[in-house]
Amino acid sequence: MFDKQLESTLFQPLLLPNGQIVPNRIAKAAMEENMADRQHLPGAALRGLYRHWGAGGAGMLITGNVMVAADAVTGPGGVVLDRHQSLQPFREWAVAGKAQGARMWMQINHPGRQVYVATNPQAIAPSAVQVEIEGYSQLFAQPRAMTETDIARVIGQFTETASLAEQAGFDGVEIHAAHGYLLSQFLSPLTNRRDDPWGGSLENRARLLIEIVRAVRVRVSPGFGVGVKLNSADFQKGGFEPADAMSVVQMLNAEAVDLVEVSGGSYESPAMHGRPQEETKRASTRAREAYFLDFARDIVAVAKMPVMVTGGIRRRGTAEDALSPEDGRAGVAMVGIAQALAYAPDLPKRWLTAEMAVTVPAVHWRRRALAGLATMAMTKLQLRRMGQGKVPNAAAWAPGILLSDLLRTRRRNRGYRSWLRRRGEE
């Protein structure tokens, strides 16, 4: 039992640089939901899901991907927010999440080359470099290199979505520059092979992210939160490295950024889903949970804004360790929890009085990419159940759930392409 709960930093408020106060240091981190309605709006299912999380005790809820471009989505059930979409469903979504006092931020994203051919065969990227996953590369679109016009359009899309999020009542946006999506692709020398001002040096590769942050900050009010999700590393040889991440954060120090979330990996190297099984067996309990904590502590040392770490945290003790100094290095300001809240949505509330570890089903297959898809499918099952008012089911059979998810995605792909045609964007 924790008799001195109020002394725990975990449950103390956090003051952000723009003056916004987050009730505690626990954030529901973003997960891939793919639960939009047929118009790619947040409907009853997402409202129900976020009511669960809003009542669960987290100080901040960060939505799953909200796509800034209708023709570029991570999945056919993705939420899209642009000027053509009705704003009322987003207002209702924000109200549902914030009903119990949590801050609600919208994660805004463009997938770049990480687009499935079955969803949309057209994709853009910094350079014409296709996703390479052994045995699965053909599932992804062959991207074309972006023009200056494309780059200007993307800056405008991020800015427009952020502005609309504020109008809908969200407390902030998190600009997704991790996990191999478009802004992460610009940051990585593996995927950004440009020889113009948008490629080459790290300063050039970070230019798109910086320009988007600036454009968003100008468009929204001072009290509206602007955050960035950044990879600690790509975990690919020759890719974005921890030293690069520290340098990018130092660049962001000069901008009005309220929060930086540290994660890692991409579709090609899905570190965000955990370590390989052989590494996990050797690691300490904390390392098995907080995969990116050591990287995050290094970033804290150079960051002027609060830093949040996400990646596998399932126990209160691990969360508190992340907030505490260690070996002369400061702790992070917030912890982001994702998968654990898919299986125990009220985990933060339970931590007020007791330690509790959440068992998250582990999918350990030889093909890591397939295991990552199965892990996501299992997680999305729990989200759909909560959206329907049901409790999570950790005992589901992973192969069957993955197959069911693939079939559902196939059906939704047809609906998405029809929706794009009606908008005249296919």
- Kindly report, residue by residue over 326-380, the tens digit of the pLDDT: 989 999 999 999 999 999 999 999 999 888 878 888 788 888 778 878 888 999 9
389's CB contacts (< 8 A; 6+ apart) are 48
- Distance, CA of 264 to CA of 86 (rounded, Å): 33
Helix axes 44-54, 88-98, angle to 10 degrees: 20
Q: What percent of the chain has pLDDT over 70?
A: 93
Residue 94 token pair: 């924000």
- Distance, CA of 346 to CA of 52 (rounded, Å): 8
DSSP 202: H
pLDDT at 26 over 50: yes
Look at residue 102 and give its three-state secondary structure: coil
Residue 239 is predicted with a pLDDT of 87
Residue 377 token pair: 């499918």
Phi first, then psi: give them for residue 90, nearest 5 degrees: -70, -35
Question: For 261-272, what is the mean pLDDT?
Answer: 73
CB atoms within 10 A of CB 346: 15
pLDDT at 283 over 80: no
The per-type count for the chain, helices as H runs and strands as E runs, is 15, 14
The number of folded domains in the chain is 1
Look at residue 160 and give its three-state secondary structure: helix
Residue 119 token pair: 């969803």
Per-residue pLDDT band for 4 (boundaries 50, 70, 90) equals: very low
Q: Which domain holds residue 9?
A: 5-423
Helix axes 398-423, 368-387, angle to 10 degrees: 80
pTM for the structure as a whole:
0.93
Classify residue 4 as exposed, middle or buried by CB count within 10 Å of its CB (0-12, 13-18, 19+): exposed
For residue 336, give the nearest of 53, 28, 15 by alpha carbon.
28
Residue 291 token pair: 């995969």
Q: What percent of the chain has pLDDT over 90?
A: 79
Look at residue 337 and give its three-state secondary structure: strand
Residue 290 is predicted with a pLDDT of 65
Per the CB < 8 A criterion, the answer to whether 160 and 80 are in contact is no
Per the CB < 8 A criterion, the answer to whether 101 and 87 are in contact is no
- Kindly report, residue by residue over 164-187, the tens digit of the pLDDT: 999 999 999 999 999 999 999 999
Strand partners, 61: 28, 104
- Distance, CA of 37 to CA of 77 (rounded, Å): 7
Per the CB < 8 A criterion, the answer to whether 239 and 186 are in contact is no
Q: What is the CATH number of the domain that holds 380?
A: 3.20.20.70
For residue 54, give the nearest of 94, 12, 9, 10 by alpha carbon.
94
Look at residue 152 and give its three-state secondary structure: helix
Residue 136 is predicted with a pLDDT of 80
pLDDT at 248 over 50: yes
Phi first, then psi: give them for residue 263, nearest 5 degrees: -140, -150
Residue 426 is predicted with a pLDDT of 54
Residue 354 is predicted with a pLDDT of 87
pLDDT at 279 over 50: no
Per the CB < 8 A criterion, the answer to whether 231 and 190 are in contact is no
Per the CB < 8 A criterion, the answer to whether 80 and 43 are in contact is no
For residue 117, how many C-alpha atoms fall within 13 Å in the half-sphere facing its CB? 9
DSSP 15: E
The Cα diameter of the chain in Å comes to: 60
Per-residue pLDDT band for 285 (boundaries 50, 70, 90) equals: very low
Question: For 93-120, what is the mean pLDDT?
Answer: 97
pLDDT at 313 over 80: yes
pLDDT at 284 over 50: no
